[in-house]
Amino acid sequence: MAWLVLIISGVLETVWAVALENSKGFSRLVPTVVFGVALALSMGGLAYAMRSIPIGTGYAVWVGIGAVGTAVYGMAVLGDTATLARIGCLLLIVSGVVGLKVLH
């Protein structure tokens, strides 16, 4: 259960990062509220998961999911550059996260 909560929390990290950008410095209400709710749920889920997952593994997986998710969203939706080098670097992050899970 802790791993599922950790994965959902990582996805929520992507949600709050995108909402933070869309809030335009907390000047837009709906994205600001989405940011706050997603941030609280993401942190709460991380705290719950780290009851049974070591901090180094849990935090790295959480950050990895959030970072890759945010970068992929930027490339797919916001028009960020999607070069082979950037995609390769994201795959390296994913492989590290998978490695941490497998070696846990």
| pLDDT grade for 102, boundaries at 50, 70 and 90 | confident
22-34 b/e with 16+ CB inside 10 Å = b?
ebeeeeeeebbeb
Question: Residue 83: phi, psi to the nearest 5?
Answer: -85, 165
pTM of the model: 0.90
| pLDDT grade for 40, boundaries at 50, 70 and 90 | very high
Give the per-residue pLDDT at 103. 84
48-65 b/e with 16+ CB inside 10 Å = b?
ebbeebeeebbbbbbebb
pLDDT digits (tens, 9 = 90+) for 5-24: 999 999 999 999 999 999 99
